[in-house]
Structure 1
Amino acid sequence: MTNRVRPWALPAVCLIAGCVSIGFLFVDKKEREAKKKKASNSKPNALGNKAGKALFDAVGNTPLIDIKSLSKLTNCKIYGKAEYMNPTFSLKDRAAKQMILEAEEKGLLDPNNPKNCPVIEATGGNTGASLAMLCASRGYPMTFVMPEKVSKEKIRAMQISGAKVHVVPNASFFDKEKHFFHVAESIKDTYNLEHSNKMTFLNQFDNQANMRAHYQNTAPEIWEQTNGKIDGFVSVCGTGGMISGCSNFFKEKSDQIKVWLIDPVEIDGLSAYVNGASEAVERDGRGVVPTKGGSTIAEGIGVPLLSPNFKLARVDKGITGSNQEIVTMAYHLLHNDGIFIGPSAALNVVGAYKMAKELGPGHTIVTTLCDSGERYMGKLYNATWLENQGISIQNIEDIETPVLGKIASI
């Protein structure tokens, strides 16, 4: 019998093949859309991917900026974590958020009854500004105690948020009557004796939520942004939360990652201690390190205490930077990279530059740009104030420092 192709067979085969092809295309499109959605969800930007996020959700996921002028100069990659892009323009948003959340978890603060949960903090400025805004967003009444050396911009930021602000004379930490930390404790104790509801002292120096903010968030962000390719991390130290949290995370990834602490040379307390050049002594139950007794234009750092946060840090080396180097670097970054930062951030970048010079070409160095320069218009970016401190910004391109050289003319 002769095999004959029925007249409808060929169109039917074509129809079936076409349907199968369309099916594969549909499935492939679905898979591509799913992968695209997963990728977008895995790397949220600083403001989140959806509208309607609370202020708390905007904290973190800050950009990692290539400081191109210094990267070019050193033949390294020098990155700055742009913490001034947090909601209140400061790294301290992270610690403030973590301390509030953990206090709520412990039942010390009640977000359902915030007006009966007053909060107090002793601050050199930035933590106060962060807590002022974040507590306001939660409804918690806020009180701050700070030394008179804090910039007026920071004090004003706290006042306009509705917080009570107590400014006290600059004093030694061991002056139990005048130092801002002890004044805050005293206010809290008095309040709690007189009221049925309790005031919570968040205590950023001793509160290890501070360290966890950076161990759980800041350092992992840096790790992801560098694809795990980081050779060194440099940080100043105030409460010790940043350097402790980040150093532990990085050292767990690789002990080959260098962690340096940079101190103001005018103080040189913790840096000398890290290098084994000095020893801590116990005083009133706290470890204290000797210092040179000078002062720094960088607020909130160079504290000569071995805080519970700092004791957990894993630091390889301590280095120093001067007030003049801070100013030189701050103006260099503003003029050459368009980066407008405060003095502690500038000192961080001084440290990153020094690490790059020591490690040599081809390394990746990361530091944090702690806060914005807008809070220092009356100091760091005020020529008259700087001149009163003995620091010149005249012909800044000609300023030379022992390590940086003519960095401002790059």
Structure 2
Amino acid sequence: MDIQSFIGKTPLVELKTFDVPADVRILAKAEFMNPGGSIKDRIVRYIVDDAERRGLIAPGATIVENTSGNTGAAIAMLAATRGYRAVLTMPDKVSKEKQDALRAMGAEVVVCPTSALPDTPDHYVTRARTLHAATPGSFMLNQYDNPLNAEAHFRSTGPEIWDALGDAVTAFVASGSTGGTISGTSRYLKQRKPDVRSVLLDPVGSVYHRYFHEGVVDPGQIAPYFVEGAGEDHLARCMDFSTIDEVLRFSDADAFATCRHLARREGLVCGGTAGANVWGAVQVARSLSGPATVVTVLPDSGGKYLSKIYNADWLTRNGFETGEIRALEPTL
């Protein structure tokens, strides 16, 4: 079997060191165990397989995509094994570890300013579209607006959770950037059990929280934040708000403090979105009375962020705590 055969069927890990009500469990799907190191392996294989079946991509073609790193890693992995060229654009806040891993697999990395506004030439999404248009025979996954992104989770992540837990699932909690994970997984779980609660986590500085609650996208609300792979400065068409019951806002400090808790008390060194997801799962768990099961995902490993969120100097420079882990206070 080749490396792609090991995508999916990741284990559920029970988190036992958080202060939640009795008989309320938190389970996290260890997506960093996918061969490309993240949950994005699922969508890349699904979309590329579909493109090959439909003749949208020819042998030796170029795959162009905008990414915060994990989709890029999955593309680079598949490109290396299937004989494609990979050209990947990303904002400059993406960790050096992620960028170096992409280059190691032969991908061309185009770094764009995080501060670039949507639809401007230097924005990483715009740059990818420009490169795609200028490269004959290239293929773009278009992960932010491609419905196959959510469909990949509807056909894999959701069924895997249901097969493991069935009717015991009370809530599914996940951050979102493209919206594929939360939309596809929630849609599947709600088809099996309509009262499953779906909660999207959105970082301060992203547009989704206000859009969900007020139907407004306010450019003045867009602000830089450090967590990679969560939130957006524009509405991704892949994000299906009809599958979502609530949107909670988290801060970088919430996510990074939870990362440290996971590492030091659960033995799980995970990325910032995993910290955000578990922080949110704890908030939801504290709003429930047992028996109940809250499920989330750990999208990637902390090995990609050792120079950032696990580096004391970086944390101190950017105003984050580095000492004893602060209490994770309930916000619901």
Same fold (TM over 0.5): yes
3-state SS, counterpart of residue 335 of structure 1: helix
CA distance in 1 between partners of 2:86 and 2:218 (Å): 32
Q: Which consecutive residues of structure 1, in runs of 5 or more, have no partner in the other structure?
A: 1-52, 193-197, 281-287, 405-410
Confirm whether residue 109 of structure 1 aligns to residue 57 of structure 2: yes
Confirm whether residue 270 of structure 1 aligns to residue 214 of structure 2: no
Partner residue in 2 for 1:80: 28
1:151–1:378 Cα contact (<8 Å) kept: yes
> What are the Cα deviations for residues 42-75 of structure 1, in whole angstroms up to 9, with x where unaligned?
xxxxxxxxxxx12221100000111121377654
The 3 A distance-change label for structure 1 pair 209 and 360 is same
How far is the alpha carbon of 1:77 from its aligned partner? Answer: 0.9
CA distance in 1 between partners of 2:148 and 2:117 (Å): 22
How far is the alpha carbon of 1:160 from its aligned partner? Answer: 0.8
Confirm whether residue 130 of structure 1 aligns to residue 59 of structure 2: no
The TM-score, its normalising length taken from structure 2, stands at 0.94
CA distance in 2 between partners of 1:259 and 1:227 (Å): 16
Q: Which has the larger radius of gyration?
A: 1
> What are the Cα deviations for residues 156-184 of structure 1, in whole angstroms up to 9, with x where unaligned?
01101011111122234424211011111
Partner residue in 2 for 1:385: 314
CA distance in 2 between partners of 1:144 and 1:352 (Å): 32
Partner residue in 2 for 1:240: 179
CA distance in 1 between partners of 2:237 and 2:158 (Å): 19
> What are the Cα deviations for residues 258-307 of structure 1, in whole angstroms up to 9, with x where unaligned?
0001111x225312322x2x223xxxxxxx45563333221121104332
2:167–2:193 Cα contact (<8 Å) kept: no
Partner residue in 2 for 1:29: none
CA distance in 2 between partners of 1:316 and 1:309 (Å): 17
Partner residue in 2 for 1:170: 114
Instruction: Summarize the alignment of residues 220-239 of structure 1 with structure 2, pairs less than 5 Å apart.
Output: 220-239=159-178
How far is the alpha carbon of 1:79 from its aligned partner? Answer: 0.2
Confirm whether residue 209 of structure 1 aligns to residue 148 of structure 2: yes
Partner residue in 2 for 1:157: 101
Q: Which consecutive residues of structure 2, in runs of 5 or more, have no partner in the other structure?
A: none
CA distance in 1 between partners of 2:19 and 2:9 (Å): 23
**TM-align CA RMSD:** 1.8
CA distance in 1 between partners of 2:306 and 2:271 (Å): 9
The TM-score, its normalising length taken from structure 1, stands at 0.77
CA distance in 2 between partners of 1:244 and 1:131 (Å): 21
- Give the count of matched residue pairs: 331
How far is the alpha carbon of 1:149 from its aligned partner? Answer: 1.0
Question: Identity of aligned pairs, percent?
Answer: 34
3-state SS, counterpart of residue 318 of structure 1: strand
CA distance in 1 between partners of 2:207 and 2:139 (Å): 30
Confirm whether residue 90 of structure 1 aligns to residue 41 of structure 2: no
| One-letter code aligned to 1:258 | R
Partner residue in 2 for 1:24: none
